[in-house]
Amino acid sequence: MTTPKVLVVGQPFTRHTGGGITLSNLFAGWDPDKLAVACVDNLFEGNIDTSVTDNYYRLGEKEHKWAFPLSLIKKKYPSGPVTFEERQGGQKSTESTKRSLRVRLIMDYFFPFLQFIGVFHLLSRIVMSDELKHWLDEYDPDVIYAQAPTREMVLFCIAIHDYLKKPMIYHVMDDWPSTIGSDGLFKNYWKKVVERDLKTLLGRTDVFMSISDFMSEEYKRRYGRDSVAFHNPIEIDFWKKYQRTDYALAECPNILYAGRTGLGIDSSLVTVAQAVAKVNKELGTAVRFTLQTGTKPDWIDQYDCVYHNSFVPYEELPRVFSGADFLLLPYDFSDQALKFIKYSMPTKAPEFMVSGTPIIIFGPDQTALVNYARAYNWAEVVTRNSVEVLADRIKHLVQNESMRRRIALKAVEVAESRHDAREITRAFSGIICSLEGQQALVG
């Protein structure tokens, strides 16, 4: 079976974002010369995993167009093929990962304001430049694989498909369409527009992929399209190198959260801190809550039991995860957060599962994560947004070694049977190979 040439649209291969990690693992072992990536300018502000491929086209100022007045303040990036600079750890980058004050103000305040008044979706678009067309013609892909989490990217994927006329896969990572009409002026109007555009894209999609079975069920109901779920696959041998087998607790037991902070996470992290403080007060223990995040949240200093560690290299994560006493998968309980994460699966869930460390899930009910954990009993699940309830469950885990062992061993069993990269990547590549030579859908 020959390997088709694949054009990846909308997401670079990385080791620091959920979508990038999932993409890197799904395409692991693919011929680097038969992969190429086209993505927007700001996605290059970080380390790119060029071990998968280094054939990239930046959708810069010739393709990514901003209306006035944003055209005056948005940073202009050059368009075209990208040349990478070497960085430590085998990663390569073209930009600094540190956000400037200008970027923070635009992303955290100005853009949300534009979204609220209902004009954000009118202010930018991605077009097919002559340079991009030349690059596409030279590469001449057999299959298009797209991740499109915004309206402008959906429209761009339609344009790419119509230009290349090649079979296309559309892979959804989060239920971003549900957040479009959640607030702001003209929310109902934009909800209808996005739904129309998304249906147009699905009409051109040969294979529709989701991130979870729960999402597949919902999107079948919502859009009338069947989809196949592909979540983050893991190399079992890599992640079980330091697999925990001893379930006696350390003198200062450690609950580890490793991931991002901000919207959809912070509120639950504060609740966990309060619950850990309560456990320590009532049991006389010294349980630690450690956040391994990019930046240190301001609220940490209010709690003696909360500690902060910076991110560690990807290669060290198996040791870190297995070295903790508990691993935490949290979600916020707000309506906005639930809409975004309801059908998603955390990229690190399988990595946590195979570590052998007991997992605590703290988040709203009726999510793909909670449904999956309950169906296979691989985590301690807390779905009430209550310091008292959470503290009680943590106390129970601290005092019950057999319970810690049971859920940890079950998680390992499920990870090895359902998340093995060898099986998942074989199925994933089989779907792509089956599309080679097919006539593209017209829509």
Residue 2 scores a pLDDT above 50: yes
Mean pLDDT along residues 43-49: 76
- Least confidently predicted of 74-88, 104-118, 158-172, 342-356: 104-118
Residue written as token pair 């010294």: 286
Give the model confidence (pLDDT) of 258-273 as tens digits.
998 876 788 999 999 9
CATH of 237-418, one of 1.10.1740.10, 3.40.50.2300, 3.40.50.2000, 3.40.718.10: 3.40.50.2000
What is the reported pLDDT for 96? 44
Residue 381 scores a pLDDT above 50: yes
Nearest to 379 by CA among 415, 344, 343: 415
Residue 402 vs residue 150, higher pLDDT: 402
Tokens, residue 333 = 């309980």
If 0-12 CB within 10 Å is exposed, 13-18 middle and 19+ buried, where does residue 33 land? exposed
Around 242, how many Cα atoms within 13 Å sit in the side-chain half-sphere? Answer: 13
Residue 338 vs residue 278, higher pLDDT: 278
Residue 185 vs residue 304, higher pLDDT: 304
- The whole-angstrom separation of Cα 84 and Cα 52 is 14
Tell me the pLDDT band of 88, cut-offs 50, 70 and 90. Answer: very low
Mean pLDDT along residues 231-241: 96
Mean pLDDT along residues 316-345: 93
Mean pLDDT along residues 20-32: 95
- Least confidently predicted of 54-58, 69-73, 423-427: 69-73
- Least confidently predicted of 27-41, 45-59, 88-102, 359-373: 88-102
Q: Cβ(35)–Cβ(52) under 8 Å?
A: yes
What is the reported pLDDT for 75? 75
Give the model confidence (pLDDT) of 99-157 as tens digits.
556 556 655 656 666 665 556 666 789 999 999 999 999 999 999 999 999 899 999 99
Residue 93 scores a pLDDT above 70: no
**Largest Cα–Cα distance of the chain, in whole Å?**
68
Residue 337 scores a pLDDT above 50: yes
Provide the CATH number for the domain formed by 6-233+421-435 in this structure: 3.40.50.2000
Residue 365 vs residue 95, higher pLDDT: 365
Average pLDDT, the chain: 89
DSSP structural state of residue 7: E
Q: Cβ(362)–Cβ(243) under 8 Å?
A: no
Residue 147 vs residue 70, higher pLDDT: 147
Percent of the chain with pLDDT over 90: 70
Mean pLDDT along residues 15-32: 91
What is the reported pLDDT for 87? 45
Mean pLDDT along residues 340-357: 94
- pTM for this model (two decimals): 0.87
Tell me the pLDDT band of 220, cut-offs 50, 70 and 90. Answer: very high
Mean pLDDT along residues 63-73: 73
What is each CA distance from 302 to 100, 208, 275, 305, in whole angstroms?
27, 46, 13, 9
Range(s) of the chain covered by CATH 3.40.50.2000: 6-233+421-435, 237-418
Mean pLDDT along residues 335-340: 84
